[in-house]
Amino acid sequence: MAVFQNPGNPAAPAGGPAPKPERACGTTLNRLHCFEVVVEESGFKRATARLHITQPALSYQIKQLEEELGAQLFYRRPGGVSPTEAGRLLFQHARQVSAAVRQAQRAIKELSEGAAGEVRIGTVNSVGIYFLPQLLLTMRAGYPATRPTVLYREADDIVDTLLSNQVDLAILADPRVDRRLRYETLFEERVSLVSGRTHPFYGSPTIRPKRLRGVQFVALSPQTPTGALIASYLDRLGVAVEPVLSTENVETVKRMVQIGMGVAFLPDMVTERDVVTDAQPEGRLGRSLVDPPLTRRIVLVTWNEFPASRAVAAFIDELRRQSRSWPGSDAKHNG
């Protein structure tokens, strides 16, 4: 929430009437801010505590805003208020105004500070846990004044948080497309068949699709973009799967495969430290290729409505640099 000067009844200049609200510097921003807080707090009493103003002053601001717009913004009810249809519409726009003010404040501050400040990243577990740590470490070393924060949600929810300006950027796998957003493929990553040490597939570098029929699968839920990609791939191969377990958690899938519950398709970044290699003989998973191979796209999603801060721009530059050198990646920058 952007922070504005505490609102109140505009003072009349000496020797003349009070200025009209729409011409008084800052009053419209203040009133929108007051309105936004009332909606978020579902009432005037809680909003006054948050705004540190009196209830009469707050009521005045809302009344003036309603008169300016020519619409009732709230329904009064016992225990609080709720926005009217006009109020709900205004709330959406008020949040965008607040976001623009925050962005302006941050941009002006960074004129003297360089790449400094918060970088809000939205992502999903299968990307954030395995891909982000090295990037965050590099950012800490190169840009110590930046403050990355990472929000984990389901992919569709992350897109919504980006649209509502709760995050500055998103790093997702094969996200849904929204025309208001900009998409840049960072790299393509292989999604491989993995099996535990006791499974017949273990140690086989390649597996023919027909051998997958009738095999016990542990599935990444098709409610996730990567899970949906895997389900579509198996369908194209003509492999009908009734998983013994389906979950949205990649770590659960990996663990179930390790203990012999079945095989699974998992992104290579998820299993990189678990696959047996000459350098890693203690690994508990075998990785096999299936022809044709399955890949997923790791995508940077941004919103062009507001320009990136210097801190966000520095993060994106480092993100692209790491993507080009990510093990097994096929970097394909589109922007």
What digits encode the pLDDT tens for the residues 62-101? 999 999 999 999 998 887 899 999 999 999 999 988 888 8
Model pTM score: 0.66
Sites in the chain below the pLDDT cut of 50: 1-26, 333-335
**Using one digit for the tens of pLDDT, what is the confidence trace for 121-156?**
999 998 999 999 999 999 999 988 899 999 999 999
* Pairing between β-strand 169-173 and β-strand 117-123 as defined by DSSP bridges: parallel
Contact present, 171 and 298 (Cβ < 8 Å)? yes
DSSP string for 80-141: EEEE-HHHHHHHHHHHHHHHHHHHHHHHHHHHHH-S-EEEEEEE-HHHHHHHHHHHHHHHHH
Q: What is the C-alpha separation between 163 and 96, in angstroms, rounded?
A: 9
**Using one digit for the tens of pLDDT, what is the confidence trace for 46-64?**
999 999 999 999 999 999 9
* Pairing between β-strand 245-247 and β-strand 74-77 as defined by DSSP bridges: unpaired
Task: Tell me the two tokens of residue 247.
Answer: 């979950």
Contact present, 166 and 292 (Cβ < 8 Å)? no
Contact present, 281 and 203 (Cβ < 8 Å)? no
Total Cβ atoms within 10 A of residue 67: 10
Strand partners, 263: 217
Sign, Cα dihedral of 102, 319, 334, 292: negative
Q: What is the C-alpha separation between 240 and 257, in angstroms, rounded?
A: 19
| Domains of the chain and CATH, by start | 21-107 (1.10.10.10), 114-184+298-331 (3.40.190.10), 187-296 (3.40.190.290)
Question: Strand runs (DSSP E) across the chain, as ranges?
Answer: 74-77, 80-83, 117-123, 146-152, 169-173, 181-196, 206-207, 218-220, 245-247, 264-267, 285-290, 294-303, 330-331
